[in-house]
Structure 1
Protein backbone atom coordinates (compact mmCIF):
# COMPACT_ATOMS: atom_id res chain seq x y z
CA UNK A 1 0.00 0.00 0.00
CA UNK A 2 1.30 3.43 -0.93
CA UNK A 3 1.68 5.63 2.17
CA UNK A 4 -0.47 8.78 2.18
CA UNK A 5 1.21 11.91 0.94
CA UNK A 6 2.07 14.59 3.43
CA UNK A 7 0.01 17.75 2.83
CA UNK A 8 1.76 20.42 0.80
CA UNK A 9 3.30 23.18 2.85
CA UNK A 10 1.05 26.25 2.71
CA UNK A 11 2.78 29.63 2.83
CA UNK A 12 5.91 31.49 1.80
CA UNK A 13 9.14 32.21 3.62
CA UNK A 14 9.04 35.55 5.42
CA UNK A 15 11.91 37.80 6.49
CA UNK A 16 11.97 36.13 9.86
CA UNK A 17 13.49 38.93 11.92
CA UNK A 18 12.78 38.77 15.64
CA UNK A 19 14.17 39.78 19.02
CA UNK A 20 14.02 38.37 22.55
CA UNK A 21 10.98 39.52 24.53
CA UNK A 22 9.43 41.03 21.42
CA UNK A 23 6.12 39.17 21.83
CA UNK A 24 5.73 39.63 25.59
CA UNK A 25 2.53 41.67 25.20
CA UNK A 26 0.57 39.07 23.27
CA UNK A 27 2.01 36.26 25.42
CA UNK A 28 0.78 38.12 28.49
CA UNK A 29 -2.70 38.20 26.94
CA UNK A 30 -2.62 34.48 26.11
CA UNK A 31 -1.60 33.76 29.70
CA UNK A 32 -4.30 36.18 30.96
CA UNK A 33 -7.72 36.69 29.36
CA UNK A 34 -7.32 33.72 26.99
CA UNK A 35 -5.83 31.34 29.56
CA UNK A 36 -9.11 29.59 30.41
CA UNK A 37 -9.11 28.00 26.95
CA UNK A 38 -5.73 26.45 27.65
CA UNK A 39 -6.60 25.34 31.17
CA UNK A 40 -9.64 23.37 30.03
CA UNK A 41 -8.05 21.88 26.88
CA UNK A 42 -7.79 18.10 26.75
CA UNK A 43 -4.64 18.42 24.68
CA UNK A 44 -2.66 21.55 25.76
CA UNK A 45 -1.10 21.97 22.33
CA UNK A 46 0.07 25.44 21.25
CA UNK A 47 1.72 26.45 17.97
CA UNK A 48 4.15 29.28 17.32
CA UNK A 49 3.58 29.60 13.58
CA UNK A 50 6.29 31.25 11.50
CA UNK A 51 8.58 31.92 14.47
CA UNK A 52 11.32 33.24 12.20
CA UNK A 53 15.09 33.12 12.00
CA UNK A 54 15.46 32.62 15.75
CA UNK A 55 13.42 30.17 17.86
CA UNK A 56 13.51 32.48 20.88
CA UNK A 57 9.81 33.42 20.65
CA UNK A 58 8.79 29.75 20.88
CA UNK A 59 11.10 29.22 23.85
CA UNK A 60 9.59 32.24 25.59
CA UNK A 61 6.03 31.16 24.75
CA UNK A 62 6.66 27.77 26.33
CA UNK A 63 8.04 29.35 29.49
CA UNK A 64 5.17 31.81 29.85
CA UNK A 65 2.36 29.33 29.19
CA UNK A 66 3.92 26.71 31.48
CA UNK A 67 2.78 28.93 34.34
CA UNK A 68 -0.81 28.47 33.16
CA UNK A 69 -0.52 24.81 32.20
CA UNK A 70 2.69 22.98 33.25
CA UNK A 71 2.09 20.24 30.66
CA UNK A 72 1.72 22.67 27.75
CA UNK A 73 3.17 21.37 24.50
CA UNK A 74 4.54 24.15 22.27
CA UNK A 75 5.43 23.34 18.67
CA UNK A 76 7.33 25.89 16.61
CA UNK A 77 6.43 25.58 12.93
CA UNK A 78 8.52 27.22 10.23
CA UNK A 79 8.38 26.91 6.46
CA UNK A 80 12.18 27.26 6.13
CA UNK A 81 13.94 23.93 6.90
CA UNK A 82 17.18 25.75 7.72
CA UNK A 83 15.46 27.65 10.54
CA UNK A 84 14.06 24.41 11.93
CA UNK A 85 17.52 22.84 11.88
CA UNK A 86 18.85 25.77 13.93
CA UNK A 87 16.05 25.31 16.48
CA UNK A 88 16.26 21.53 16.90
CA UNK A 89 19.02 21.56 19.56
CA UNK A 90 16.68 23.55 21.83
CA UNK A 91 14.03 20.83 21.88
CA UNK A 92 13.01 19.44 25.25
CA UNK A 93 9.87 17.94 26.78
CA UNK A 94 7.02 20.26 25.87
CA UNK A 95 8.94 22.14 23.17
CA UNK A 96 9.64 20.95 19.63
CA UNK A 97 10.11 22.29 16.10
CA UNK A 98 9.06 21.12 12.67
CA UNK A 99 8.76 22.23 9.06
CA UNK A 100 5.36 23.41 7.88
CA UNK A 101 3.01 26.27 7.17
CA UNK A 102 -0.64 27.21 7.61
CA UNK A 103 -1.67 23.57 7.11
CA UNK A 104 -0.19 22.80 10.58
CA UNK A 105 1.49 19.39 10.22
CA UNK A 106 0.62 18.05 13.68
CA UNK A 107 -0.24 14.40 12.95
CA UNK A 108 -3.93 14.93 13.49
CA UNK A 109 -3.62 16.83 16.76
CA UNK A 110 -5.54 20.11 17.09
CA UNK A 111 -3.96 23.08 18.88
CA UNK A 112 -5.82 25.29 21.33
CA UNK A 113 -3.71 28.33 20.37
CA UNK A 114 -1.90 29.23 17.17
CA UNK A 115 0.15 32.39 17.48
CA UNK A 116 1.09 33.79 14.05
CA UNK A 117 3.00 36.99 14.66
CA UNK A 118 4.50 39.26 12.01
CA UNK A 119 3.65 36.59 9.44
CA UNK A 120 0.55 37.63 7.49
CA UNK A 121 1.64 41.26 7.40
CA UNK A 122 4.02 40.17 4.63
CA UNK A 123 1.16 38.74 2.56
CA UNK A 124 -1.44 40.51 0.40
CA UNK A 125 -4.73 41.44 2.10
CA UNK A 126 -6.84 39.01 -0.01
CA UNK A 127 -4.67 36.15 1.28
CA UNK A 128 -5.57 36.78 4.91
CA UNK A 129 -9.08 35.29 5.08
CA UNK A 130 -8.08 32.01 3.36
CA UNK A 131 -5.12 31.66 5.73
CA UNK A 132 -7.40 32.29 8.73
CA UNK A 133 -9.88 29.70 7.46
CA UNK A 134 -7.19 27.08 6.89
CA UNK A 135 -5.78 27.50 10.40
CA UNK A 136 -9.28 27.58 11.94
CA UNK A 137 -10.02 24.23 10.32
CA UNK A 138 -7.07 22.77 12.22
CA UNK A 139 -7.88 24.25 15.65
CA UNK A 140 -9.38 22.37 18.57
CA UNK A 141 -12.98 23.29 19.43
CA UNK A 142 -12.81 26.62 21.23
CA UNK A 143 -9.30 27.22 19.94
CA UNK A 144 -7.87 30.56 18.88
CA UNK A 145 -5.66 31.82 16.10
CA UNK A 146 -3.89 35.02 17.17
CA UNK A 147 -2.80 37.01 14.10
CA UNK A 148 -0.72 39.99 15.14
CA UNK A 149 2.01 42.47 14.41
CA UNK A 150 4.40 44.47 16.56
CA UNK A 151 7.38 46.75 16.25
CA UNK A 152 10.96 45.51 16.49
CA UNK A 153 11.17 45.52 20.29
CA UNK A 154 7.54 44.98 21.16
CA UNK A 155 6.56 48.46 22.36
CA UNK A 156 3.56 48.64 20.03
CA UNK A 157 1.54 45.53 19.35
CA UNK A 158 -1.85 44.68 17.87
CA UNK A 159 -3.57 41.37 17.28
CA UNK A 160 -6.83 39.84 16.09
CA UNK A 161 -8.22 36.84 17.98
CA UNK A 162 -9.82 34.43 15.52
CA UNK A 163 -12.06 31.79 17.10
CA UNK A 164 -12.25 28.28 15.66
CA UNK A 165 -16.02 28.37 15.37
CA UNK A 166 -16.89 32.04 15.07
CA UNK A 167 -14.06 33.66 13.10
CA UNK A 168 -12.52 36.97 14.24
CA UNK A 169 -13.88 38.04 17.63
CA UNK A 170 -11.70 40.89 18.89
CA UNK A 171 -8.91 43.36 18.23
CA UNK A 172 -6.36 44.07 20.95
CA UNK A 173 -3.88 46.94 21.09
CA UNK A 174 -1.07 46.98 23.64
CA UNK A 175 1.27 49.96 23.99
CA UNK A 176 4.23 51.07 26.03
CA UNK A 177 2.67 54.12 27.65
CA UNK A 178 5.88 55.93 28.51
CA UNK A 179 6.58 58.44 25.76
CA UNK A 180 3.34 57.65 23.90
CA UNK A 181 2.26 60.63 21.80
CA UNK A 182 -1.07 59.24 20.60
CA UNK A 183 -2.62 55.73 20.55
CA UNK A 184 -3.02 55.77 16.77
CA UNK A 185 0.76 55.49 16.53
CA UNK A 186 -0.01 51.75 16.51
CA UNK A 187 -1.65 52.13 13.08
CA UNK A 188 1.45 51.03 11.19
CA UNK A 189 1.43 47.83 13.28
CA UNK A 190 -2.19 46.85 12.68
CA UNK A 191 -2.66 43.29 11.40
CA UNK A 192 -2.87 42.91 7.63
CA UNK A 193 -6.67 42.57 7.72
CA UNK A 194 -6.90 46.15 9.01
CA UNK A 195 -3.73 48.05 8.16
CA UNK A 196 -4.97 49.25 4.77
CA UNK A 197 -8.40 50.07 6.21
CA UNK A 198 -7.25 52.94 8.39
CA UNK A 199 -8.91 55.47 6.13
CA UNK A 200 -12.03 57.66 6.52
CA UNK A 201 -15.20 55.63 6.27
CA UNK A 202 -13.72 52.50 7.82
CA UNK A 203 -14.56 51.41 11.36
CA UNK A 204 -10.96 50.97 12.48
CA UNK A 205 -10.21 54.55 11.43
CA UNK A 206 -13.11 55.82 13.52
CA UNK A 207 -11.94 53.68 16.44
CA UNK A 208 -8.37 55.00 16.41
CA UNK A 209 -9.68 58.54 16.02
CA UNK A 210 -11.91 58.13 19.08
CA UNK A 211 -9.00 56.65 21.03
CA UNK A 212 -6.79 59.62 20.13
CA UNK A 213 -9.53 62.07 21.11
CA UNK A 214 -10.01 60.41 24.49
CA UNK A 215 -6.24 60.37 25.08
CA UNK A 216 -6.02 64.08 24.26
CA UNK A 217 -8.99 64.88 26.49
CA UNK A 218 -7.21 63.36 29.48
CA UNK A 219 -3.87 65.10 28.89
CA UNK A 220 -4.18 66.93 32.26
CA UNK A 221 -3.83 63.57 33.99
CA UNK A 222 -0.28 63.22 32.64
CA UNK A 223 1.00 64.81 35.83
CA UNK A 224 -0.23 61.66 37.63
CA UNK A 225 1.49 59.38 35.14
CA UNK A 226 0.76 57.88 31.75
CA UNK A 227 -1.02 54.91 33.32
CA UNK A 228 -3.67 57.08 34.97
CA UNK A 229 -4.17 58.94 31.71
CA UNK A 230 -4.59 55.63 29.84
CA UNK A 231 -7.06 54.25 32.38
CA UNK A 232 -9.19 57.37 32.00
CA UNK A 233 -8.93 57.05 28.21
CA UNK A 234 -10.23 53.49 28.21
CA UNK A 235 -13.04 54.34 30.61
CA UNK A 236 -14.07 57.15 28.24
CA UNK A 237 -14.10 54.72 25.30
CA UNK A 238 -16.26 52.29 27.22
CA UNK A 239 -18.65 55.02 28.37
CA UNK A 240 -18.95 56.20 24.76
CA UNK A 241 -20.30 52.80 23.75
CA UNK A 242 -17.24 51.10 22.30
CA UNK A 243 -17.41 47.36 23.13
CA UNK A 244 -14.36 47.34 25.41
CA UNK A 245 -13.58 43.91 26.85
CA UNK A 246 -11.68 42.74 29.93
CA UNK A 247 -11.15 45.20 32.79
CA UNK A 248 -8.81 47.61 34.58
CA UNK A 249 -6.21 44.95 35.36
CA UNK A 250 -5.62 44.65 31.61
CA UNK A 251 -5.98 48.35 30.86
CA UNK A 252 -3.24 49.14 33.38
CA UNK A 253 -0.84 47.23 31.11
CA UNK A 254 -1.42 49.68 28.26
CA UNK A 255 -3.89 47.27 26.67
CA UNK A 256 -7.35 47.70 25.19
CA UNK A 257 -9.46 45.03 23.50
CA UNK A 258 -12.68 45.66 21.59
CA UNK A 259 -15.18 43.41 19.87
CA UNK A 260 -14.39 42.74 16.22
CA UNK A 261 -17.65 44.08 14.82
CA UNK A 262 -16.68 47.58 15.93
CA UNK A 263 -13.53 47.59 13.76
CA UNK A 264 -14.12 45.02 11.05
CA UNK A 265 -13.45 46.11 7.45
CA UNK A 266 -16.31 47.40 5.39
CA UNK A 267 -17.50 45.44 2.40
Structure 2
Protein backbone atom coordinates (compact mmCIF):
# COMPACT_ATOMS: atom_id res chain seq x y z
CA UNK A 1 0.00 0.00 0.00
CA UNK A 2 1.01 3.63 -0.50
CA UNK A 3 2.32 5.48 2.57
CA UNK A 4 -0.40 7.11 4.63
CA UNK A 5 1.11 10.53 5.16
CA UNK A 6 4.15 12.71 4.66
CA UNK A 7 2.77 15.77 6.51
CA UNK A 8 4.76 16.77 9.60
CA UNK A 9 3.02 15.92 12.85
CA UNK A 10 1.01 18.78 14.34
CA UNK A 11 0.50 20.69 11.08
CA UNK A 12 -2.97 21.38 9.71
CA UNK A 13 -4.16 20.48 6.20
CA UNK A 14 -4.26 23.34 3.71
CA UNK A 15 -7.67 24.23 2.30
CA UNK A 16 -11.34 24.12 3.28
CA UNK A 17 -13.87 21.27 3.09
CA UNK A 18 -16.02 20.81 0.02
CA UNK A 19 -19.70 19.94 0.09
CA UNK A 20 -18.61 16.33 -0.43
CA UNK A 21 -21.16 15.57 -3.15
CA UNK A 22 -20.17 12.49 -5.12
CA UNK A 23 -21.72 9.69 -7.16
CA UNK A 24 -20.45 6.47 -8.73
CA UNK A 25 -19.11 7.00 -12.26
CA UNK A 26 -19.23 10.78 -11.89
CA UNK A 27 -15.63 11.19 -13.08
CA UNK A 28 -15.57 8.49 -15.75
CA UNK A 29 -14.96 10.96 -18.61
CA UNK A 30 -12.01 12.54 -16.84
CA UNK A 31 -10.60 9.11 -15.91
CA UNK A 32 -10.94 7.87 -19.47
CA UNK A 33 -9.06 10.90 -20.79
CA UNK A 34 -6.31 10.60 -18.17
CA UNK A 35 -5.73 6.94 -19.02
CA UNK A 36 -5.61 7.66 -22.75
CA UNK A 37 -3.48 10.82 -22.68
CA UNK A 38 -1.29 10.26 -19.62
CA UNK A 39 -1.12 6.46 -19.58
CA UNK A 40 2.23 6.37 -21.38
CA UNK A 41 3.67 8.75 -18.80
CA UNK A 42 2.55 6.47 -15.98
CA UNK A 43 4.07 3.45 -17.68
CA UNK A 44 7.43 5.19 -18.10
CA UNK A 45 7.82 5.64 -14.36
CA UNK A 46 10.62 3.51 -12.92
CA UNK A 47 8.64 2.82 -9.75
CA UNK A 48 4.95 2.17 -9.28
CA UNK A 49 3.33 5.56 -10.03
CA UNK A 50 1.19 7.25 -7.40
CA UNK A 51 -2.06 8.97 -8.37
CA UNK A 52 -3.84 11.26 -5.91
CA UNK A 53 -7.60 11.74 -5.80
CA UNK A 54 -7.69 15.10 -4.01
CA UNK A 55 -10.95 15.99 -2.27
CA UNK A 56 -12.81 12.80 -3.16
CA UNK A 57 -15.78 13.79 -1.00
CA UNK A 58 -18.20 12.10 1.37
CA UNK A 59 -17.85 8.66 -0.25
CA UNK A 60 -14.75 6.98 -1.75
CA UNK A 61 -16.26 5.92 -5.09
CA UNK A 62 -14.12 8.16 -7.29
CA UNK A 63 -10.85 6.91 -5.75
CA UNK A 64 -11.93 3.27 -6.04
CA UNK A 65 -12.86 3.81 -9.68
CA UNK A 66 -9.65 5.71 -10.46
CA UNK A 67 -7.56 2.78 -9.22
CA UNK A 68 -9.47 0.32 -11.36
CA UNK A 69 -9.39 2.45 -14.50
CA UNK A 70 -5.73 3.35 -14.29
CA UNK A 71 -4.70 -0.23 -13.55
CA UNK A 72 -6.87 -1.59 -16.36
CA UNK A 73 -6.18 1.07 -19.01
CA UNK A 74 -2.84 2.71 -18.13
CA UNK A 75 -0.43 0.96 -15.75
CA UNK A 76 -1.28 -2.04 -13.53
CA UNK A 77 1.35 -0.87 -11.01
CA UNK A 78 -0.52 2.36 -10.24
CA UNK A 79 -1.29 3.20 -6.62
CA UNK A 80 -4.04 5.64 -5.66
CA UNK A 81 -4.18 7.77 -2.52
CA UNK A 82 -7.46 9.47 -1.67
CA UNK A 83 -6.82 12.74 0.17
CA UNK A 84 -9.61 14.43 2.14
CA UNK A 85 -9.57 17.41 4.48
CA UNK A 86 -12.51 16.11 6.54
CA UNK A 87 -11.24 13.46 9.00
CA UNK A 88 -14.65 11.77 9.21
CA UNK A 89 -14.62 11.17 5.46
CA UNK A 90 -11.21 9.54 5.71
CA UNK A 91 -12.38 7.21 8.46
CA UNK A 92 -15.50 6.32 6.47
CA UNK A 93 -13.33 5.42 3.46
CA UNK A 94 -10.86 3.21 5.34
CA UNK A 95 -12.93 0.00 4.93
CA UNK A 96 -12.48 0.37 1.16
CA UNK A 97 -8.70 0.27 1.33
CA UNK A 98 -7.06 -2.54 -0.60
CA UNK A 99 -3.80 -3.30 -2.33
CA UNK A 100 -2.83 -0.08 -4.08
CA UNK A 101 -5.52 2.10 -2.48
CA UNK A 102 -5.24 4.13 0.75
CA UNK A 103 -6.95 7.18 2.21
CA UNK A 104 -5.27 10.00 4.14
CA UNK A 105 -6.23 13.21 5.91
CA UNK A 106 -4.92 16.27 4.11
CA UNK A 107 -5.42 19.09 1.65
CA UNK A 108 -3.43 21.06 -0.90
CA UNK A 109 -0.14 20.09 0.74
CA UNK A 110 -0.83 16.57 -0.68
CA UNK A 111 0.53 14.52 2.23
CA UNK A 112 1.93 11.50 0.40
CA UNK A 113 5.54 10.37 0.35
CA UNK A 114 7.41 11.23 -2.80
CA UNK A 115 6.08 13.09 -5.82
CA UNK A 116 2.82 11.90 -7.40
CA UNK A 117 2.67 11.18 -11.11
CA UNK A 118 -0.94 12.39 -11.13
CA UNK A 119 -3.11 14.66 -8.99
CA UNK A 120 -6.78 14.78 -9.86
CA UNK A 121 -8.77 17.59 -8.21
CA UNK A 122 -12.37 17.43 -9.41
CA UNK A 123 -15.04 19.80 -8.11
CA UNK A 124 -12.66 21.12 -5.46
CA UNK A 125 -11.96 24.74 -6.43
CA UNK A 126 -15.51 25.87 -7.22
CA UNK A 127 -15.92 27.23 -3.69
CA UNK A 128 -12.73 29.31 -3.87
CA UNK A 129 -12.32 32.82 -5.26
CA UNK A 130 -10.87 33.10 -8.73
CA UNK A 131 -7.85 35.00 -7.46
CA UNK A 132 -6.91 32.00 -5.30
CA UNK A 133 -6.72 29.53 -8.18
CA UNK A 134 -3.26 30.34 -9.52
CA UNK A 135 -1.65 29.87 -6.09
CA UNK A 136 -3.41 26.52 -5.59
CA UNK A 137 -2.35 25.37 -9.04
CA UNK A 138 1.26 26.38 -8.34
CA UNK A 139 1.26 24.56 -5.00
CA UNK A 140 -0.15 21.35 -6.50
CA UNK A 141 2.12 21.46 -9.56
CA UNK A 142 5.12 21.81 -7.27
CA UNK A 143 4.20 18.42 -5.75
CA UNK A 144 4.24 16.63 -9.10
CA UNK A 145 6.95 14.26 -10.24
CA UNK A 146 8.87 15.28 -13.38
CA UNK A 147 6.48 14.70 -16.25
CA UNK A 148 3.55 14.53 -13.83
CA UNK A 149 0.04 15.81 -14.46
CA UNK A 150 -2.49 17.84 -12.47
CA UNK A 151 -6.07 17.63 -13.72
CA UNK A 152 -8.42 20.19 -12.18
CA UNK A 153 -11.99 20.78 -13.26
CA UNK A 154 -15.70 20.54 -12.70
CA UNK A 155 -18.55 18.27 -13.75
CA UNK A 156 -22.26 17.92 -13.13
CA UNK A 157 -23.63 15.55 -10.51
CA UNK A 158 -23.80 12.49 -12.76
CA UNK A 159 -20.83 13.20 -15.00
CA UNK A 160 -22.57 14.10 -18.25
CA UNK A 161 -20.75 17.42 -18.67
CA UNK A 162 -17.17 18.09 -17.75
CA UNK A 163 -14.52 20.78 -18.30
CA UNK A 164 -11.00 20.44 -16.92
CA UNK A 165 -7.58 22.02 -17.15
CA UNK A 166 -4.48 19.83 -17.45
CA UNK A 167 -1.29 21.20 -15.93
CA UNK A 168 2.30 20.01 -15.75
CA UNK A 169 5.03 21.11 -13.34
CA UNK A 170 5.50 24.16 -15.58
CA UNK A 171 1.83 25.22 -15.38
CA UNK A 172 -1.40 24.92 -17.40
CA UNK A 173 -1.31 23.14 -20.74
CA UNK A 174 -4.78 22.41 -22.08
CA UNK A 175 -8.51 22.72 -21.46
CA UNK A 176 -10.79 19.77 -22.26
CA UNK A 177 -14.54 19.93 -22.87
CA UNK A 178 -16.26 16.54 -22.52
CA UNK A 179 -19.92 15.63 -22.70
CA UNK A 180 -22.52 12.94 -23.19
CA UNK A 181 -23.45 13.91 -26.72
CA UNK A 182 -27.00 12.58 -26.57
CA UNK A 183 -27.84 15.12 -23.87
CA UNK A 184 -26.20 18.13 -25.55
CA UNK A 185 -28.25 20.91 -27.11
CA UNK A 186 -25.27 23.13 -27.94
CA UNK A 187 -21.58 23.18 -26.90
CA UNK A 188 -21.99 26.34 -24.82
CA UNK A 189 -24.15 24.29 -22.43
CA UNK A 190 -20.78 23.26 -21.00
CA UNK A 191 -20.15 26.84 -19.86
CA UNK A 192 -21.78 26.16 -16.50
CA UNK A 193 -19.07 23.54 -15.84
CA UNK A 194 -16.09 25.73 -16.63
CA UNK A 195 -13.41 25.47 -13.92
CA UNK A 196 -13.01 28.36 -11.51
CA UNK A 197 -10.21 29.95 -13.52
CA UNK A 198 -12.57 30.42 -16.49
CA UNK A 199 -16.19 30.41 -15.35
CA UNK A 200 -16.33 34.14 -14.54
CA UNK A 201 -14.52 34.95 -17.79
CA UNK A 202 -17.30 33.75 -20.07
CA UNK A 203 -18.19 37.31 -21.05
CA UNK A 204 -17.66 39.28 -24.28
CA UNK A 205 -14.06 40.23 -24.79
CA UNK A 206 -12.64 37.15 -23.08
CA UNK A 207 -11.06 34.29 -25.09
CA UNK A 208 -13.20 31.55 -23.54
CA UNK A 209 -16.37 33.44 -24.52
CA UNK A 210 -15.12 33.71 -28.12
CA UNK A 211 -14.25 30.02 -28.14
CA UNK A 212 -17.69 28.93 -26.96
CA UNK A 213 -19.31 31.33 -29.46
CA UNK A 214 -17.34 29.77 -32.32
CA UNK A 215 -18.04 26.29 -30.94
CA UNK A 216 -21.79 26.98 -31.11
CA UNK A 217 -21.50 28.39 -34.63
CA UNK A 218 -19.61 25.33 -35.84
CA UNK A 219 -22.22 23.10 -34.15
CA UNK A 220 -25.02 24.94 -35.94
CA UNK A 221 -23.20 24.70 -39.28
CA UNK A 222 -22.81 20.94 -38.73
CA UNK A 223 -26.56 20.46 -38.25
CA UNK A 224 -26.90 18.40 -41.49
CA UNK A 225 -24.68 15.76 -39.88
CA UNK A 226 -27.25 15.26 -37.10
CA UNK A 227 -29.01 12.75 -39.33
CA UNK A 228 -25.90 10.57 -38.96
CA UNK A 229 -25.97 10.90 -35.17
CA UNK A 230 -24.72 13.33 -32.55
CA UNK A 231 -21.22 11.83 -32.67
CA UNK A 232 -20.77 12.60 -36.36
CA UNK A 233 -22.10 16.11 -35.83
CA UNK A 234 -19.60 16.64 -32.97
CA UNK A 235 -16.70 15.33 -35.06
CA UNK A 236 -17.58 17.67 -37.92
CA UNK A 237 -17.93 20.55 -35.46
CA UNK A 238 -14.50 19.89 -33.99
CA UNK A 239 -12.90 19.64 -37.42
CA UNK A 240 -14.34 23.05 -38.36
CA UNK A 241 -13.34 24.55 -35.01
CA UNK A 242 -9.76 23.37 -35.51
CA UNK A 243 -9.42 25.73 -38.46
CA UNK A 244 -9.43 28.72 -36.09
CA UNK A 245 -8.48 27.34 -32.66
CA UNK A 246 -5.45 25.27 -31.56
CA UNK A 247 -7.13 21.96 -30.79
CA UNK A 248 -4.73 19.44 -29.30
CA UNK A 249 -6.56 16.22 -30.10
CA UNK A 250 -8.14 14.54 -33.09
CA UNK A 251 -10.90 12.27 -34.30
CA UNK A 252 -10.13 9.46 -31.84
CA UNK A 253 -10.83 11.74 -28.87
CA UNK A 254 -13.61 13.63 -30.62
CA UNK A 255 -15.46 10.34 -30.99
CA UNK A 256 -15.56 10.18 -27.19
CA UNK A 257 -17.38 13.52 -26.99
CA UNK A 258 -14.22 15.48 -26.17
CA UNK A 259 -12.45 18.54 -27.51
CA UNK A 260 -9.12 19.71 -26.07
CA UNK A 261 -7.73 23.18 -26.78
CA UNK A 262 -4.41 24.75 -25.84
CA UNK A 263 -4.66 26.65 -22.53
CA UNK A 264 -2.88 29.72 -23.94
CA UNK A 265 -5.77 30.23 -26.38
CA UNK A 266 -8.32 30.55 -23.58
CA UNK A 267 -6.22 31.93 -20.73
CA UNK A 268 -7.44 35.14 -19.09
CA UNK A 269 -4.95 37.97 -19.07
CA UNK A 270 -4.14 37.44 -15.40
CA UNK A 271 -2.71 33.94 -15.99
Shared topology, TM-score over 0.5?
yes
Return the alpha-carbon distance in structure 2 between the equivalents of residues 170 and 114 of structure 1. 15
Query: Counterparts in 2 of 1:1-267, with a 5 A limit?
Result: 5=9, 7-43=11-47, 44-67=49-72, 68-107=74-113, 109-164=114-169, 166-240=170-244, 242-267=245-270
Aligned 8 A contact 1:7 1:103 in 2: no
The Cα offsets for residues 138-194 of structure 1, whole Å up to 9 and x where unpaired, read as 110111110010001000000000111x20000000011113111010101000000
Return the alpha-carbon distance in structure 2 between the equivalents of residues 130 and 265 of structure 1. 15
Return the alpha-carbon distance in structure 1 between the equivalents of residues 183 and 65 of structure 2. 26
Deviation at 1:7, TM superposition (A): 4.2
Deviation at 1:8, TM superposition (A): 3.0
Return the alpha-carbon distance in structure 1 between the equivalents of residues 167 and 46 of structure 2. 20
Aligned 8 A contact 1:33 1:246 in 2: no
**What is the number of equivalent residue pairs in this alignment?**
261
Return the alpha-carbon distance in structure 2 between the equivalents of residues 37 and 149 of structure 1. 23
SS for the counterpart of 1:36 is helix
Listed as ranges, the gaps of 5+ residues in structure 1 are none
The TM-score normalised by the length of structure 2 is 0.94
Return the alpha-carbon distance in structure 1 between the equivalents of residues 52 and 215 of structure 2. 32
**After TM superposition, which residue ranges in structure 1, 4 or more long, deviate above 4 angstroms?**
4-7
Listed as ranges, the gaps of 5+ residues in structure 2 are 1-7
Deviation at 1:266, TM superposition (A): 2.1
SS for the counterpart of 1:239 is coil
Return the alpha-carbon distance in structure 2 between the equivalents of residues 42 and 75 of structure 1. 19
- Aligned residues: CA RMSD: 1.0
Return the alpha-carbon distance in structure 1 between the equivalents of residues 188 and 117 of structure 2. 31
The TM-score normalised by the length of structure 1 is 0.96
SS for the counterpart of 2:81 is strand
